[in-house]
Amino acid sequence: MVGAAVGVPVAWFYGLPWLVGLSLFAGLVPDLDAPDATLKHWTINLGDRRRGTKLKPFAIVSSFMTLIFPHRGFVHSLYAALTFGLVGAIIGLLLHLSVWWPITLALLVGYISHLLLDALTPSGIPLLMRGDWHLFPHLRIPTGSYIEHLMVALAAVVVLGYLLTAGSAY
């Protein structure tokens, strides 16, 4: 939700509301290195809902990533964020998308917001691959805490508020 919220200024600036979806997606990507990643369970139903083929596109990616990278390892570093943004930019340029830069920016802010939020938790993140980095030296917000729920709620208000006003503008 925070990943989507940080995409709001980018989407608003470029007048492209769908960028919020991209930054939401980017905010979920870093946890593909976790055994219980949200994106892992994302399913595409082909044909009939019950008997049709079910595709979990990120399940393979995630299994692969959990094999190579430890949870909150490289994938949670600044290097991974920059690599992710670069891949987004290259794909955008290869597809000759005129909006490759807004796309790259939305992907970057979503990804980085995830890293910053994890840097608020007690375990921190390996920002530069050297030890655990915390956003604030003396502040630790445990996962599932009251402050976390408050941040999610605030982010939801920002996203819904933006999407409603953007929707009524068209």
Residues that bind Zn ion (CB under 5 A): 30-31, 118
What is the distance, to the nearest Å, from the Cα of residue 152 to the centroid of all Cα atoms in its chain? 14
Tokens of 155: 């982010």
CB of 89 to Zn ion, least distance (A): 23
Q: Which is nearer to Zn ion, 104 or 113 (CB)?
A: 113
Work out how close the CB of 47 gets to Zn ion at its nearest, in angstroms, rounded to a whole number: 34
* CA-closest candidate to residue 87, choices 74, 98, 103, 76: 103
User: What distance in Å separates the CA atoms of residue 145 and residue 124, rounded to the nearest whole number?
Assistant: 16
Residue with tokens 């807004």: 102
In the complex with Zn ion, which residue's Cβ is closer, 14 or 74?
A: 74
Which of residues 104 and 118 has its CB atom nearest to Zn ion in the complex? 118
Q: Which of 8, 33, 159 is nearest to 84 (CA)?
A: 33
User: Residue 108 or residue 118: which is nearer to Zn ion going by CB?
Assistant: 118
CA distance 120 to 153: 17
> Please, what is the minimum distance in Å from the beta carbon of residue 18 to Zn ion?
24
The residue among 76 and 158 lying less far from Zn ion, judged by its C-beta, is 76
Q: Minimum distance between the CB of residue 34 and Zn ion, rounded to whole angstroms?
A: 7
For every residue of 74-114, which 3-state class applies, written as one string? HHHCHHHHHHHHHHHHHHHHHCCCCCHHHHHHHHHHHHHHH
